[in-house]
Structure formats: structure tokens, C-alpha cells
Structure 1
Amino acid sequence: MRLAPLLIVLLSALPAAAAEPIRLGLLAFGTAQWEIETMRSHRLDDVHGIQVRPQELAGKDSAAVALLGGTVDAVVGDWLWVSRQRAMGHDLTFVPWVGMTGALLVPEASPVRTLADLAGRKLGVAGGPLDKSWLLLRALAARRHGMDLDRAVNKSYGAPPLLAQQLEAGRLDALLTFWPSAVPLEAKGFRRLLDVAAIPAELGLETPPPLIGWIFHSGWAASHRAEIEAFRRAEAETRTLMCAPGFDWTGLDRLTRANDARTREGYRAGFCAGMPGMADLDSARRLYALLAELGGEELVGPSPVLQPGTFW
């Protein structure tokens, strides 16, 4: 009996059983990397009682394979893809992470002032013909000017770095690209003609749902609800930290590849502007219908309507 107190002391000194890690599939140099790196370096996952284990993936196709194959628990993507996968029998679901982001850029001295001025000009489009920003831009051109932008411009699709080089070399008159790729171009003096985030409201979608978020299996979520909620709290605290005055963004230069204060501030501003709101299902259904009309089955798959359960 006299050994009992000593046994209690020894047992209390043992480390607690490690929580099952959340395996996150992250694209190399993607903006989610910035957040997860900050979360882990400040041990905010530990604070919230979870372990986050990032796994670097090569691209969107690799992320899809990893998630569907079960080698990661969650990846970053958009809810249109989730709805498409649900229509095909996969039990994926989505929680918001960032809103719609992207920009249409032109050289500072360009005579292009409106979308109508793009007619007959060379436009670079990052992400390909089914990129959501490109589809929304086409819808906006039709609304503003009765213009079929797809036919009115000479399009070049490609990766953001390649298109950025072509814009700088004068081989493109304008570039529609993702916001992280727009920041260094703006730092070099290129002018933002239009912000993609402003398009939905002009199309009658006053409360557009965040397009990008975390995607995971509903079955996995059912048995990891507490971990998901803890992760979301850790995420919110991480973003608050990163967007607070005085946070040192130079510590992320390895990931952002920023090499000057203006570019670094552009990344900070863009990241902090993308904080998600609540998902409005009615607005999501209307946006889905619009994009389905423009992108067709190639974009949304076999379902003409947003699938139930798309949003967690």
C-alpha cells in the first residue's frame, strides 16, 4: 500500500498518449503552407490539443489522388469539385478557408480601362479554360458590355509564373491570375484592373460563399469532429496572429519567396483580406448554377445542381 503514492507520481510523469495526427495534403508554396507553418512554429496546434502533420503534394491532381486514396485526411480545394465528387459517389465535404481571390492586371501605361477595352487583345488566363475566375470574368463582361469575352480576346492559358513572364515581356496585354501571383507583379508596377472578389456581388450574389476550403471525407469527419473543431480554432488563432500589427512576415520568406518589403506587405494584405465568412447555401446554389451554365459538365460533372452535404 505504501507504494501507491510513488506509483501515482510515476504514472503522472508519463507523457499523455499522442493524439492521432491530422494529415494535411498541402501544395508546395501554396498559401495554406504559410498558415500551417505559422501554426506549428507557434505550437498553436498543441495549444488546441491536436497534432498537424503536413504532407507536401505536387499539384491538384496529386491532392485528389491522396485524399481519395486515404493517404491524407484533408486537402485544400473548392466546393464545386466536392459537389462533383459527391455526385459520383464519394463522401467528401467542405469547410470554408478563403474567399474568391484573383486579379486582372495590365501594364501601368496600358490604355485598357474597362473589360470592353480587352477586345482583340492578348489575355493570359491562369488555371485553364475552366478556371472559376475566368468563368466569372466572362459572366461579368456579358453583364456589363453584352460581350462574349471568350471570343473577343486572344487567350493564352498556362501556369501563373510563365504567364507573368509573358506579361512582363510585353507578349500579353493583360493577365488574369491568382492573387499570390498578382502581388509581385503589382510590386513591379502593374495595375490591377479588376479584383475577382468583387465580381459575384455585381452578378447579384451579395453574399458569395468562400470558394476555397478544407476538403475531407464525411465518414472521417464523423469520427473526428472534436479534432476538426479544434483545428478550426487553431486556424482562427493563427490567422489572427498573422494579421496582427507587428507580426514578422520575414519569417515566411522561404515560403512566400518575398524579397522586398512591398511584396511582403502585398502578401500580408492579400492573405488577411481572404478570411472566410459563413457559407450561404442559397448563394452557393446560385453561384453553382451560374458556373455550371458556363463550364458545363466538364466543370461540375453529372449534377446540374449543388449536391446535398457539400458543405459540412
Structure 2
Amino acid sequence: MPALIGRLLGFLLLTAFAMSGAWAAERAVVRVGILQFGTVSWELEVMQRHGLAEREGIELRIVPLALKDAANVAIQGGEVDLIANDWIWVSRMRSEGSDYAFAPYSQAVGGISVRPDAGVAQFADLEGKRLGVAGGALDKSWLLLRAYARRTVGEDAATFLQPQFAAPPLLNELVMRGELPAAMNFWHYTARLSAAGMKELISMPQILAGLGIEDELPLVGWVFREGWARDNAAAIEGFLRASDAAKALMLESDAVWEELRPLMRAENEETFIALREGFRAGIPRTGIDDAERVATRVFDILAAEGGEALVGKARTIAPGTFWRGGGSR
């Protein structure tokens, strides 16, 4: 009898193991291409650490990439299923015949930081001064600033001040050394400057408000091929739910951020808090309809400023840019 019970227990254990193995094998693999050391990795870490992706039946495979352009190349080449990018790129690609789609991820966009000793109290005080700009001449923040300058000081920012385009880390270094009085950098670099005592002169929401746009604007989102999403509906919807769940945790729990400290590379407590609160402030709170409505208005501004080099031949945001497939999104 004991031998029979032993064999029965062994059979049950083997059956349970086989079933768990079969369940794991059935999990949908989602390959996500992200920039090394980028802030997107924070959310993915939460998704994995807290089993949020696994709960949705997803196996995340993180593909580290060196540059933003590498992410675009990777998804076009089929090496990854998702990347983080903006809806302007998606709209342009759709207008040229591709089937990319965009699901909002973050509205965190940097503003202008100034040194306390720069003698700059308002935007008009930047006249003739050097402004470090991250992202190049077609960066969306810079183009919106050019439009804002026309509205507020009656002159294109490109001539009103002296833009100096450079990589984000270099801009921060130049500001800290006093070699630049001000910089318009990506949000996490702006947060580091704030933690170091630099003043925020103007934020992106203030720039948008100056252009008559009071609502929030998620610029960055998860980008994927619509065809892939249609063929893998459970995977994409599960991934987006896991993404939302991770953001909810990051919004509500300070303990989650303590787990993320090693990834954040914060030099001190002030920087850690600035990065945490900056990420939280960037979590979208609006629905997809409102996001697309605001994006449509902003597209017109960006098309006027950046022209064909930015948006291609399209004159309006491409239909289908914002993903609406499945669930409540």
C-alpha cells in the first residue's frame, strides 16, 4: 500500500509538472526593444518583478538597444515586437504605407532649465542667450518651442535665442559647469538638473498652454505593427494591461521605487525623488479619444514647424495611428 501511494504521488507530481510546463510553453512571447539605461526599463522591471506580465500569460523578452534609431530599425526588421516611440513617427510611417500603431505610454517631456545665476526669470529673458537643445532640430519639444516663441515674443526661437544642439548628458554637464545658461532636455535629464538646483523656467504643459492646448498630451507610447497585434490580440492586450498595472504600482507605491534604485542610477536622494516624481507626473490619465484629439491639434503645429522632414507628405495625422483594437483601450 505505501508503494502504491508513493507511485500515485509521483504520478500526480509529474502530471502537475507537465501541466505547468505546458502552460509556460503556451505563454505568448513579446519581444520589447528598449534603449539601454532608458527609463522605459523601469516599468518593464516592475512588470517582471511583480509577475504582471506572467499573470497575463506573457513572457517578456527584453532586447537592449544602443540608440533610438536602432529601435526603429529593429522593429522594421522584425527583430522586436514593440518599442517606445512617439505618435508622430507612427503617423508618418502609416502615411507611407506601413501599419504601425501607437498606445500611449507617457506624457513626460522635458522643459527648459536655467542656472540660478543666469539672470533669466521668464522666457523673454532668453533673448540672445544660448539654449542647449537635446534631440536635434526636428525634436518635437524644440519645434513646439519655436511655435510658442512666435506666439509669445513674436519671433521664431531659432533666431530669438541661440540654440546649441547636443546629446542630453553633455547638455547637463555644460549647464552644471556654467558653460550654458539654459537647456531644453529630455524629462529625466531635466529632473536631474532640478535636483542639482537648476530652475525650471518653463514646462512642456506651459508651452502647450501658450499654444492654446490645455489638455495633457501623451507623446511617447508603445509602438507595434497592427498586423502583429491583430494576429496576437491576447498578447498585445495582455501586455498593455500589464503596462497599466505597472504604472498603477509605480504611482501608488514608494516601495516599488526602492526596488528600482539600482536601475535609476540616482547620485543622491534628491535626484532619486526628482526622477520618481517626474515619472509619476508623466503617467497618462486621459483616455484614448482625448489623447488622439489633442494629438490631432498638435500635429498641425508640428507639421507647420517641421514640414515634410518631420511628418512626410501627410497634412493630417494618419487614420489608425492610435491603437483601438480589443478591450477598453
Same fold per TM (> 0.5)?
A: yes
How many pairs were matched up?
308
2:103 is aligned to: 95
Aligned equivalents of 2:47, 2:216: Cα separation in 1:
27
**Deviations 1:118-141 (CA, angstroms, capped at 9, x unpaired):** 111011001111111111111112
CA shift for structure 1 position 209: 3.4
Amino acid at match of 2:130: K
SS at match of 2:32: strand
Aligned equivalents of 1:81, 1:246: Cα separation in 2:
34
Q: Are the equivalent residues in 2 in contact too, given 1:250–1:264 (CA < 8 A)?
A: no
Q: Which moved more, 1:199-208 or 1:263-272?
A: 199-208
1:83 is aligned to: 91
CA shift for structure 1 position 59: 0.9
Aligned equivalents of 2:243, 2:11: Cα separation in 1:
36
Unaligned segments of structure 1, at least 5 residues: none
Residue among 290, 299, 302 paired with 2:301: 290
Q: Are the equivalent residues in 2 in contact too, given 1:208–1:284 (CA < 8 A)?
A: no
Q: Are the equivalent residues in 1 in contact too, given 2:108–2:279 (CA < 8 A)?
A: no
Aligned equivalents of 1:112, 1:214: Cα separation in 2:
37
TM-score by length of 2: 0.89
Question: Structure 1 residues 119, 11: CA separation in 2 closer, same or farther (over 3 Å shift)?
Answer: same
2:230 is aligned to: 222
2:79 is aligned to: 71
2:3 is aligned to: none
TM-score by length of 1: 0.93
Q: Which moved more, 1:201-210 or 1:110-119?
A: 201-210
Aligned equivalents of 1:6, 1:189: Cα separation in 2:
65
2:198 is aligned to: 190
Unaligned segments of structure 2, at least 5 residues: 1-7, 324-329
Q: Report whether the alignment pairs 1:278 with 2:287.
A: yes
Aligned equivalents of 1:153, 1:287: Cα separation in 2:
23
Amino acid at match of 1:22: V
1:167 is aligned to: 175
Q: Are the equivalent residues in 1 in contact too, given 2:28–2:57 (CA < 8 A)?
A: no
CA shift for structure 1 position 248: 4.6
Question: Structure 1 residues 93, 103: CA separation in 2 closer, same or farther (over 3 Å shift)?
Answer: same
SS at match of 2:270: helix
Q: Are the equivalent residues in 2 in contact too, given 1:116–1:147 (CA < 8 A)?
A: no
Q: Which moved more, 1:240-249 or 1:226-235?
A: 240-249
Aligned equivalents of 1:155, 1:271: Cα separation in 2:
27
Aligned equivalents of 1:130, 1:48: Cα separation in 2:
38
1:1-312 to 2 correspondence within 5 Å?
A: 9=12, 10-14=14-18, 15=21, 16=23, 17-276=25-284, 277-279=286-288, 280=290, 281-312=292-323
RMSD: 1.8
Amino acid at match of 1:227: A
